[in-house]
Amino acid sequence: MKEYTAPDVRPVDDTKISEHDLVFYYSREHRLKKASRNVRALYEDVPRRRFGIFTSLVDTKPKAMLLIVIAAICLLALFLPYLRGG
């Protein structure tokens, strides 16, 4: 009795598969046409900002205010002994 194999299943070997042998069941362009505007914006060629530690610490107003408060507390802790006369 012969063993059944699907016609599109190939054995694993070292032969190269050409591009015309591949079957794509969807196209990215067709899928993106149906996607929402936010998803399409992710795939647009927009230059991305470089990641930086400082920019991630001050990119919103609350983060910037928190950084200023932490810096002020650190400076106060450093200079408090000199202000007390010690």
Instruction: Give CA separation, 82 vs 47, 69, 86, in Å.
Output: 49, 20, 6
Domain locations in the chain as residue ranges? 53-83
* Residue found by looking up tokens 């032969």 in the block: 15
pLDDT tens for the chain, 86 residues long, are 667 666 666 666 667 777 777 776 777 788 888 888 888 888 887 677 777 888 888 989 999 999 999 999 999 999 988 887 75
In this predicted structure, what is the pLDDT of residue 12?
Answer: 64
In this predicted structure, what is the pLDDT of residue 8?
Answer: 64
Evaluate whether 39 touches 32 at the Cβ level (below 8 Å).
yes
Measured between alpha carbons, how far is 75 from 77 in angstroms, rounded to an integer? 5
